[in-house]
Chains A and B, each alone.
Chain A
């Protein structure tokens, strides 16, 4: 156990937690926007898979990470448009529609992968700050700071973007007219409608933006791992939905949830690698992140209230 409480091991564990939490955070932030408008999207995982494949394949073919990220976001937008049409205009049941999006994403990403790639081929990974072409040298002194350098400055740009988006999303939701409209249509769409807010348009935009976040989350995952494979996300999108509830629909608490999930996972891996957790207990240890998330949800469920109109389609009377 004492092996774990050395500074270098703790720093490595925290750095892993940060890196690991990024796809969860991005997907959960997007889902927060959508749910604040009253729409539950269980298709996050499917959108992530398509975004992940799109980004991976683009980098495989062009070598450009930037283009890969753009493609991932574009795919997310496209899937968001589809989901918005189905749930807002056609008023389909949100849970079932979301599962449909997930299954489509799962199957179609695998089909594209099999047809276009086949055997998994590694791509060049996203460069960390100090390896950025042209400007990496500027950050090298920061990376060299003992312990703190590894913890704070040895990540790729998407990691910083993800955490930067937390206050941005908070500001948009709490301080802008669009954000106020999103919250209004999520709480009381009839009242918002009577005040001249277009419920359909607001939800449409919120869903599409949220889905673009999911596409970016998928792109981040495949570019961080530098690979794509069948069902690469392994349920990250579903955990992201749970994190929105965990975070009480507040971006900063959603971020805390993502970091907690990442930290529990990273600690579990680190403890096993240092033989602090015996090999025989590996199955129990593997369940730890899920158990902690469920416990947190149970404890929080009675204390927080979600958007009142969540999952309820809006019909003007």
Chain B
């Protein structure tokens, strides 16, 4: 009897130990749609097991490690264990079009055209390569092309959450936007709505007119700082300049697209991170089953494509954090409209 009890006790301890290990390993996973980094340990994404044998190529407008739009896609592919061929920095559409066509001609199975501006080129190229699947974003329709999948984030959702938290830190908020279009515009609009929902007056929004002009983003952030804001946010690869100003002026920062903690900013409170892998994995499954396109998919907090990553280094009030988690739940439940 004693040996049976001892055996059960050992099993129980073993099970507890295993659960502890799992809990430690998954320590950064919190409520639905959120995650928290351990302070000082955010060193990037882990490569997952490869989900496909299909060959993949990525054409993107900015650098693959821009801590913004393009990196979010590279990170997502890494999570899926995919090492794509990459042509980055192709903001000039003609260059991107040449790269997209070249990959298709080389027989690549899936070509990701990661830029809204590539839509016109894709409309010309995709019909020439009916055996190739093209993934295009951010876009909400496939232009009627049977071998094109479209993808887009509901960036206003994470924007709303960030704005809500921001208003809990300071009622004076500055926004450094790039161009009033696409997911940048959606993020900013969601952010403004969230901030106002938590009692802030309308945040000061400045669109610099450029996705890449770091100098303008820097001076815009400085103008906000001079105006006395307590919180800054921004989007696009140019936002790195604004992050520097936030750091220099000890202002809280909210990121989007990728986790801006990578810019060595301890003042990043939270980042809305695009997990494109959520829709990519579905698309790849369908491609393997023979459906090369014809569908548009979106990233949301509900489907896990948008994840709010909180910075473990930032001392965010627990009540504000739990309020933010409540907001996320309400968005997922459809009780809050973020548009």
Contacts and interface: CB of A to CB of B under 8 A. Distances in A.
Interface of A: 9, 12, 16, 19-20, 23, 110, 113-114, 118-122, 125, 221, 225-227, 229-232, 234, 236, 265-266, 269-270, 272-275, 279, 282-283, 285-287
Interface centre among A23, A118, A226 (most CB of B within 10 A): A226
Contacts of A232: 214-215
Interface in B108-150: none
B98 interface: no
A9 B223 CA distance: 9
Given A273-B220, A273-B224, A231 B212 contact: yes
B209 A283 contact: yes
Given A12-B223, A16-B223, A125-B248, A279 B207 contact: yes
A114 B216 CA distance: 23
A110 B63 contact: yes
Nearest to A20: B219
A114 B87 CA distance: 13
Nearest to A270: B223
Given A16-B222, A110-B63, A283 B215 contact: no
A272 B238 CA distance: 18
Contacts of B233: none
B219 A121 contact: no
B166 interface: no
Given A119-B65, A273-B220, A274-B227, A234 B213 contact: yes
Given A20-B219, A232-B214, A234-B210, A120 B89 contact: no
Given A286-B207, A286-B208, A269 B220 contact: yes
Contacts of B89: 110, 230
Nearest to B241: A225
Given A120-B263, A125-B248, A227-B244, A273 B65 contact: no
Nearest to A111: B89
A272 B240 CA distance: 20
- Which label, helix, strand, loop or mixed, suits the secondary structure of the A interface? helix
B247 interface: yes
Secondary structure of the B contact surface, majority rule: mixed
Given A16-B222, A230-B89, A272 B215 contact: no
A232 B237 CA distance: 11
Nearest to B262: A119
Contacts of B179: 283
B226 interface: yes
24 contacts: A20-B215, A114-B63, A114-B64, A119-B67, A119-B262, A120-B66, A120-B240, A221-B215, A225-B215, A225-B244, A229-B214, A229-B238, A229-B240, A230-B237, A265-B216, A269-B216, A272-B206, A273-B174, A273-B220, A273-B223, A273-B224, A273-B227, A283-B207, A286-B208
Contacts of A122: 240, 243-244, 247, 263-264
A110 B87 CA distance: 13
Nearest to A228: B214
B213 A269 contact: no
B264 A234 contact: no
B62 interface: yes
Contacts of B219: 16, 19-20, 265-266, 269
Interface centre among A110, A269, A274, A285 (most CB of B within 10 A): A269
Given A121-B264, A225-B218, A272-B204, 4 more contacts: A230-B62, A230-B212, A234-B210, A234-B212
B180 interface: yes
Interface in B212-256: 212-216, 218-220, 222-224, 226-227, 237-238, 240-241, 243-244, 247-248
Nearest to B206: A272
B332 interface: no
Contact of B65 (A19, A118, A266, A285): A118
A229 B237 contact: yes
A226 B223 contact: no
B93 interface: no
